[in-house]
Amino acid sequence: MEATLRERKKAQTRMVLWNTAIALFVEHGFDNVSVTQIAAAAEVSKMTFFNYFPTKEDLVIGPMSEHTHELAEIVRTRPEAESPVDALHRHFLGGLSRRDPVTGLCDKPNVLAVQRLIHETPSLMHRAFALLAMSQDALAQELGPDFRHRAAAAMIAGARNALVVENTARLLSGATTDAVYPEAVANANEAFTLLKSGL
């Protein structure tokens, strides 16, 4: 019981820090807000901040890092008769229907705020591309050991990222998820059909 309460308290503190930081970043710009300012606004110590997030970049990019091995896991756990491309296609369409932020089709204000921050901040964009590379490497290792598998992983990750970027751009321009959804599905179907015929 005690551990559960402790975990809830930690989760609450983490969320307060995240919400406080994102609000400050949106108002003042990522590079103009210090860890000290975030901690003070959240009413915690600077050390408490670092207990939860090693850096400001980790605070913003953290949720994305949880998906680094997702593509590889989808391929690993797919039904035996399903190809890797078909499995990833199915999963992406499911994410679109759920408005999963990882598909770029999520117009919740906090998600859009983070997307704007990433696109406007070079250090965050650099970290986002590093996570994409890690995801691609994990997928390549799951597909197989040679160059063909690395090339296939690069094509799959690149096509998927293009879909996410397109969806995100549409939402950042003011469109709603419901308005973008049909086109997002059509784009996904076209991209994965191209992958399937090419691979």
Confidence of residue 44 (pLDDT cuts 50, 70, 90): very high
Look at residue 99 and give its three-state secondary structure: coil
pLDDT at position 63 is: 81
Mean per-residue pLDDT of the chain: 94
123-153 pLDDT, tens digit each: 999 999 999 999 999 999 999 999 999 999 9
| DSSP code string of 140-179 | HHHH-SSHHHHHHHHHHHHHHHHHHHHHHHHHHTT--HHH
Q: Look at the chain and count its residues.
A: 199
For residues 8-23, give the mean pLDDT: 92
Closest CA to 103 of 166, 52, 61: 166
Confidence of residue 1 (pLDDT cuts 50, 70, 90): very low
Cα–Cα distance between 20 and 4 in angstroms, integer?
24
174: left (phi over 0), alpha (psi -120 to 50) or beta: left
Entry pTM: 0.87
Q: Between the CA of residue 133 and those of 2, 5, 68, 79, what are the distances in Å?
A: 40, 37, 9, 26
Domain 2-53 has CATH 1.10.10.60: yes
